[in-house]
Each structure stands twice: as structure tokens, then as C-alpha cells.
Amino acid sequence: MSKRFSQFVLLRPQLLRANRPLRRSFTAGANRSNNSRWVTGAAVAAFTLSSLTYTMTSQKPAKFDARSLAELDERTKREKGIDENSPMRLRMEQFIREQQKEIVFELEKVDGMSFREDTWSREKGGGGVSCVLQEGNVFEKAGVNISVVYGTLPKGAIAKMRVNHKTLAEADELDFYALGLSMVLHPRNPMAPTVHLNYRYFETMRPDGTSQAWWFGGGSDLTPSYLFDEDAVHFHKTLKEACDKHNKDYYPKFKKWCDEYFCNTHRGESRGIGGIFFDDLDETVADADNTFAFIQDCLKSFLPSYLPIIQKRKEMAFTEKEKEWQQVRRGRYVEFNLVHDRGTAFGLNVPGSRVESILMSLPLTASWRYMYEPEPRSREQRLVDILKNPKEWV
């Protein structure tokens, strides 16, 4: 207890007496005496409150843990709303929630069936909205999920992250915030490609709740079972246009990064025909506002990049043999997600994570056939050849 605060406690009875209603007096002397005591009490109260205010304002800022920061953010959203001066984490959250609704709305128009929507929360702060469609008319399985995580990084995780983020503080533990929109669509028709999208934001916090280090990541990629060159060109061209608005170097750099990241190294082939992928975009690349603008353009480019493709392919004729090939390719998709994907590994290792949402990316059906090889010079073989040697599409 501070000295000034103890003064307040000791003087409080006098202050309380001063606040009691004055008894009416019928003599001038009594009035002067009561008035004198009132002035003295008021002066003491003023001095005491001034001392207490000084003591409180001169103390160090309160320490925020992950839970208290989550509560503060919820109160900010509820009482003040979100604008361009709000913390970046809240601006990004508002944006991806809007995009989730728009994407789900458009996909329901394509499929004719509705997504199941589950809203969930985490005990230590945050939560999410999982929108999933299973056994639809067009999509065998589709998921468009948002997750918001407040948590604490242990020393080992901090050390690993510091390899790519030198601005990350060295500490035994760090409170963090992670936010992302993840989407995977697995169509029924083997002529229609699977598509994946993820855009995310990550930051660590100082003890007072302000941002200590931050970065964005994301991308979108296409995984066909049967390759139509015009679809690949359209998909990549749309992404390139979004990138070129901000930096002409982004598309070639992030396209190469995508080819290298989404690779089943144990099989020596890419998961699909790529798109863009990037991670760890922090202040060494661009400031937060410019990077956020880039993220917005990329995410908004998804519907124009994919809807024309699915509309063309969703009702094409196919054979049982072609469906079998789709199942084999989906098996390769599962292999990457469970063996190599960093996002899946991170999500499953966060205490209190929602496993159903993390594994939403896996297809409803897949197969693994022993020593399965496509026929030479077939469409299936051409796809494998391109997966082993990624192609420039634009």
C-alpha cells in the first residue's frame, strides 16, 4: 500500500463526516462553527482525492494477459466500433468476417444448398465461425472458416519464430493474437478443381497490450485432377492483377513461393498448379496499412478467379475411371496437409484449438492405391508431369 493511499484510508472517516447533512443551527456562532468544519472537510477531501489521483496515474500501466486483452477488444468493438484508427487486428477481423459472408453467399448460389454455420469460442479468448457444406449438389465438401486466437507463446515457439522475425522479443513467454480466414472447396466433379485460400494476421503483444511485432500471410492455390490450361491461366492472371496493383515483384515471387511450399517433397511433386503464397510480411516489406491493402485486394480477387471455373466444370460428364483418379489425387492432398502444412501443425498444437475446424480442409473421400501409375501420354500423366515441373501460366 502506498503512503498516499494510506493517507486516504486514514482520512476517510473525516471525509465521511464532512459529507453528512448539516444540522440546522439557530445561532450565528453555531453556523460559523459548522461552516468552518465543512470547509476543512472539503479541503481534506480535495487534497486526498488529488493525492490518490497522482498515485494512480504515476503507477506503471496494468499488465494485460491474453484473456484480458480479448475482453478489452470485445468491449472496444461493442462500444466504439471499428475504423481506420482501430488496432490492425480489429480491422483485419472485421474485413475477413465481411468476406466470409460474401463468399458463403456466392457459393450457396452455385451449389443450391446452405452451409452449416457453427459459432464457437475459446476459454482463453477468441473463437470463430465455421461454415461447412457437406454432400452438396456441386461441392462434396466445402468449408469457409474464421478463427481468432488469443494465447501465450512458450519460449521454444518464440525461439523458432525469431529465425524469421528478429523484431520478436526474447522472452520466456509472449502473449499473441492470431487471426485467419481459411477456405477449401472439394467439388464432386473430377473436372472441377479443388481450391484453397488462407489469409491471416499474427501479432505479439507487450505487457501493456500494445503490438510488439506483427506480420501478414496468405495466398490462394488451385488443385485440379484434370488440367484445363485456360482455367490455370485465368486463375493465375486474376491473382497477378491483384498483386501488380501493389508491387510488380509480388506475383513472380509469391508464385514461386507457392510452388515450393505446396510440395509433397516425399513424392517429388507439387500439390497442385499453384497460385500465390506468402508469409511473414512485416515492416521490413511494407508498413501495416499498405500490406493490409494488399491483403484486401488478394482476398477480394478470389470470387472472380474461381467462380467462372466452377461454373464451366461443375456439370461436365465424367467416367468412373476419372472419378477414381480424383480420389487418388485427393489422397495426395491429404498427405500434404497432414505431413507438411505448417498451419495445420500450428493449429493442432495450440491448447484449446478446435480440431474439427482445423481438419475441415480434408476431403470427404480419398483413396490410396498401391503403386498406382497413370497411363503414359494420358491426361493424368500430363498433370503429373506439370506437378513435377511447375509451369509459368502468365
Residue type, 75: R
User: Under 8 Å CB-to-CB from 311, ≥6 apart: which residues?
Assistant: 110
Angle, alpha carbons 299-301-304 (nearest 5°)? 140
Active-site choice (165, 186, 196, 234)? 196
Angstrom CA distances, 368 to 188, 327, 333, 371, 382, stand at: 18, 8, 11, 9, 20
In this structure, the number of other CB atoms found within 10 A of the CB of residue 390 comes to 19
Q: Where are the alpha helices (DSSP H) in 351-390?
A: 355-358, 379-388
Q: Which helix (H) or strand (E) holds 274?
A: strand 274-281
Question: 196 an active-site residue?
Answer: yes
- 239-246, Cβ contacts within 8 angstroms, sequence gap of 24 or more: 239/275, 239/276, 239/298, 239/301, 239/305, 240/394, 241/301, 242/297, 242/298, 242/300, 242/301, 243/276, 243/294, 243/298, 245/294, 245/297, 246/290, 246/293, 246/294, 246/297
Residues designated catalytic: 196
